[in-house]
Structure 1
Amino acid sequence: MSAHYYIPLLPAPSAEIELVDIVDETDTPFAVMPLATAIKQSLFRRAVLVLVYDRAGRLYLQRRSRTKQLYPGRLDLSATGHVRAGESRLDAATRELNEELGLTGLRLTMIASVEASHHTGYAFVSLFSAGAVDEEPQPLSDETEGGLFVDQEEAAALVENFREQLTPGLVYFWERGLLFPETRLTP
C-alpha cells in the first residue's frame, strides 16, 4: 500500500482571491499579489472611496460587514474598495458603486487624492463623488450590512461621540472638510 502526499506550492485558484497592484512610494506598480497578503504585509496599493448624496444633501454611510478583514462592522463612506490589478481608479470606483450599492450610470468626479501612509492603511486613496442620486442605495453584497443617510450635523456627532465605530477613512476625510462641500451636491 503506497501513500501519496500532495504538497501545494500555491493556494488553489479561487474567485475569492482579489489581485491588486503593489506600488512603490511614488504610486508606480511593480508587482501583483492577493489583496489579503498586501494588507497583511502593509504594502502600498490603491483604493477608492465614493461619496453618494441624496437630494437633501445627506451623505450615505454604509455599515461594513462584520466579516470584512479591515474595520468589520464600522460605518464607512458610501462605497469603498481596492483597485484591482490593471484597473483604473475610475473603473474601480464605478465597480464598487455597483457591487456594494447597486448604483449604475452615475457620473463620478474625483475630488481628492491622498498619499499612502499609516493613516490610509498604506493605500494611495482616490476620493470620488457621485453627487446627488434619486434612487435609494440597495446594498447588494456580503461586504455591507445596510447603511443610512446623514446630514452634516449628524456626521459631526458621529465623529465626535462614536469615532471608534467609524472607519479611519471616514474620519480622515471628515477632518479635512471634504465630505459636505456644497459644490459637490449638484448632479
Structure 2
Amino acid sequence: MPDTKKTHRAGAHIGPSHGTLEALFEHSATDNRVELVEVVDETDTPFAVMPLTSAIEQSLFRRAVLVLVYDRQGRLYLQRRSRSKSLYPGRLDLSATGHVRAGESREDAAARELLEELGLSGRRLTLLASVEATHHTSYAFVSLFSAGKVNEEPQPSSDETEGGFFVDAEELAALVQEFREQLTPGMVYFWERGMLFPKP
C-alpha cells in the first residue's frame, strides 16, 4: 500500500471499499452507471481504481481528455454539458470531453468520447498538449486532442450533452469576456493560452 500522503490530496480518503479490483468491478457490474477510473499520484502514476464520482468528490488526481472538432470554416464546436453531469452541469464546454477509464489509453478515451457525445467515429486524433493536474483542470491530468475539420454535422447525444454549436475565435472571445461563469474552467484555460484555434 503506497504512502497516501504522497498519492492523493490532503483531506481525501480512500476507504476500505476501494481495496480490491474484484470488489470494484463487481459493484460496477450491478450498476452500469458506475464509471471506473484510475487514481494517479502527482507524477501521473496510477495507484488505485475507484468510481469516478468518488474520485471527483475527493478531488483526487485522475486523467481526462478534451477533443476539439472544427467545421470546414475552422469554427470550433462547443457543447453544452448535460445538467446531470457531476462536474460543471449545464456549462458550455469544448467539443468532446471526459475521463480516461481504468485500463484505457488516452487516445482510446478521446475516440470513445467523440463517438458517445457527438456521434463521430474514425477520426484521426492529434495530441496538441498535455497539462499537469491543478485546480484549473479540476485535478485531472488533461490531454488535449484535435479531431480536425469535419464535413458532417455532430450529432450530440441527449444523454451526454444538451446540444451545441460552432463558434469562431471572435465569438468565443466574446463568450469568455461576457459569460465566463457559464464556461468550464478547462475551456477558459486553453483559450487564454491560445490553444483552441490553429495558428494561420
**Shared fold per TM-score greater than 0.5:** yes
Q: What are the Cα deviations for residues 26-65 of structure 1, in whole angstroms up to 9, with x where unaligned?
A: 0000000000000000000000000000000000000001
Structure 1 consecutive aligned stretches of length 4 or more whose deviation exceeds 6 Å: none
Unaligned 5+ segments in structure 2 are: 1-16, 18-22
Unaligned 5+ segments in structure 1 are: 1-8
Distance 1:112 1:141 in 2: 29
8 Å CA contact 1:63–1:74 kept in 2: the answer is yes
TM-score, normalised relative to structure 1: 0.91
Distance 1:182 1:75 in 2: 23
Counterpart check, 1:143 vs 2:152: no
Letter of the 2:79 counterpart: Q
Question: Which residue in 2 is equivalent to 1:21?
Answer: 38
Distance 1:98 1:145 in 2: 15
Question: Which residue in 2 is equivalent to 1:159?
Answer: 176
Question: Which residue in 2 is equivalent to 1:3?
Answer: none
TM-score, normalised relative to structure 2: 0.85
Question: Which residue in 1 is equivalent to 2:66?
Answer: 49
Counterpart check, 1:78 vs 2:95: yes
Cα distance, 1:67 vs. partner? 1.2
Q: What are the Cα deviations for residues 5-31 of structure 1, in whole angstroms up to 9, with x where unaligned?
A: xxxx78673110000000000000000
Superposition RMSD on alpha carbons, in Å? 1.3
- Percentage of matched positions with identical amino acids: 78
Question: Which residue in 2 is equivalent to 1:134?
Answer: 151
Letter of the 1:47 counterpart: A
Distance 2:103 2:177 in 1: 38
Distance 1:148 1:173 in 2: 18
Bigger Rg, structure 1 or 2: 1
